[in-house]
A and B are shown apart, each in its own frame.
Chain A
Amino acid sequence: MKLLRILLVVCSLLGAATAHAEKITIAAAADLKFAMDEIVTGFKKSQPGNDVEVIYGSSGKFNTQIQQGAPYDLFFSADIAYPRELAKKGLAASDVKPYAVGRIVLWSNSMNAAKMTLVSLADPKIGHIAIANPKHAPYGKRAEEALKAAGLWDKVQPKLVFGENISHTAQFVQTGSAQVGIIALALAVNPELAKKGGYYLIPDKLHNPLEQGFVITRRAAGNVLAKKFADYMAAKPARAIMTKYGFVLPGEGR
């Protein structure tokens, strides 16, 4: 009983300590892992005292969770169709804003992917090819489209393993369990992955564009910090970081 009372006091103290500073939680597609970390670091410097938390995962998962009332204030999807769906259902507090176009690449930890093309995937020496789950991860959908457009789907299908999201997919390749994977360019250019092997940029005419968009969710309507972050995404420092990670920005077609 005494222990319970102490716990209650501790909990309420913790609650009181965090009640005043503003806080937003961002759900971001896994391809944004490195870019968003940098952007948020910059944003926090300009907003001292406030807290920004980012959760990474597959866009389809976040779409489901937000529809079930998940406490995310902003949703950065790798496929603009998901936030559009949320907006249509009245779950958004802002317009759906396109923020980038993503690209997919072949990447390997053990082979020089820079010298590969999609056809190389049919090589019998390659046992497992990792892609994100096409069912709910946009990068997986585009990987499937590209393999089909290249006429390789039937040949490579038995070798495919599916990551839960795009960074889970990269992790399958990084540990060497899959020899090669189709991952986001934004992940392949991050220094940790870039020091291994290099990458092959898959021609974007082979798949639908990876048009990415974000919304402020309904629960954050009137949340000043969420609005500030949305504006920050359109500002120069954030755009420079996005470009550095290989994203094509809206209005800047290559």
Chain B
Amino acid sequence: MLLTGSDIQAIWLTIKLASTVTFLLLLIGTPVAWWLARSQTRLKGVVGAVVALPLVLPPSVLGFYLLLAMGPNGPVGHLTRILGVGALPFTFWGLVLASVFYSLPFMVQPLQNAFEAIGERPLEVAASLGASPLDAFFSVVVPLARPGFLTASILTFAHTVGEFGVVLMIGGNIPGVSRVASVQIYDHVEALEYGQAHRMAAVMLIFSFVVLLGLYARRPDSLKMTGRG
């Protein structure tokens, strides 16, 4: 047996987390990216900067604020208690919420670039043909921005898989709930179980390489994180 049961559980949990986060960020990130691509207001700069924050913030800053905010005395903690879902730290959905923040720029920025690259013209044509804005978005923008959606989804998924610090700070290292692959590897190393650490690390390395190869081999210019197809 190459991987132990708990290793496989950690990998499965990681896939589940990354898929959930990618799906939610598609829903949240698309309107944000659309607005950022179309807006001419000053607010655009502020929103763009907020979206990009996780790129530069240390995970410990994000983890610290999230732990306080989601704890029973924090604003998010109050809200979740009123809604009857209990406290979020140490739960799968707590990790999902944290990862949505953490991976936000990886969804929004490629999408924003893809939307900006489309320009006004196709939308004007759609409007002149009588399409409603929503109709135009789904039948014109989405097909044109397909490579952007693909790049954004892959980067978001991969970046969530690679998360470590935030998970360690708010996850509580619970098997099947918050012990993701990166944390599992860390535990193996700390316990001097280098054999198991090696096997899992190799799985992660190969996975990451294949994902990035798929991305870059398909479109060499995606190195620039643009969404132009």
Contacts and interface: CB of A to CB of B under 8 A. Distances in A.
B202 interface: no
A64 B197 CA distance: 13
Interface string A8-50: 0000000000000000000000000000000000000000000
B91 to A, nearest CB: 9
B174 A64 contact: no
B86 A161 contact: no
B187 A161 contact: no
B190 A60 contact: yes
Given A60-B191, A136-B190, A164-B168, A127 B173 contact: no
Contacts of A110: 72
Interface stretch (A69-77, A173-181, A234-242): A173-181
A176 B73 CA distance: 7
Interface residues of A, number: 23
A177 B190 contact: no
Contact of B90 (A61, A64, A161): A161
A61 B192 CA distance: 9
A108 interface: no
Nearest to B178: A161
B192 A177 contact: no
B32 interface: no
A135 B196 CA distance: 14
A63 B172 contact: no
B109 to A, nearest CB: 29
Interface string A91-128: 00000000000000000001000000000000000011
Given A162-B174, A175-B71, A178-B172, A128 B90 contact: yes
A160 B174 contact: yes
A110 B190 CA distance: 32
A60 B189 CA distance: 9
A172 interface: yes
Interface in B144-181: 168, 170, 172-174
A175 B70 CA distance: 10
Contacts of A136: 187, 190-191
A177 B67 contact: yes
B68 interface: yes
A176 B173 CA distance: 17
B172 A162 contact: yes
Nearest to B90: A161
A112 B39 CA distance: 54
Contact of A64 (B67, B173, B192): B192
B87 interface: yes
Nearest to A160: B174
B227 interface: no
B89 interface: yes
Nearest to A171: B67
Interface in B54-75: 67-68, 70-73
Given A130-B172, A161-B172, A63 B187 contact: no
A133 B71 CA distance: 21
12 contacts: A60-B192, A61-B190, A63-B192, A64-B189, A128-B172, A160-B174, A161-B90, A161-B172, A161-B173, A164-B168, A175-B71, A176-B73
Given A136-B190, A176-B71, A177-B71, 9 more contacts: A60-B191, A60-B192, A127-B87, A128-B87, A133-B190, A164-B168, A175-B71, A176-B72, A177-B89
Interface of B: 67-68, 70-73, 86-87, 89-90, 168, 170, 172-174, 187, 189-192
Interface of A: 58, 60-61, 63-64, 67, 110, 127-128, 130, 133, 135-136, 160-164, 172, 175-178
The 6 closest A-B pairs by CB, nearest first: A161-B172, A162-B173, A136-B190, A177-B89, A176-B72, A175-B71
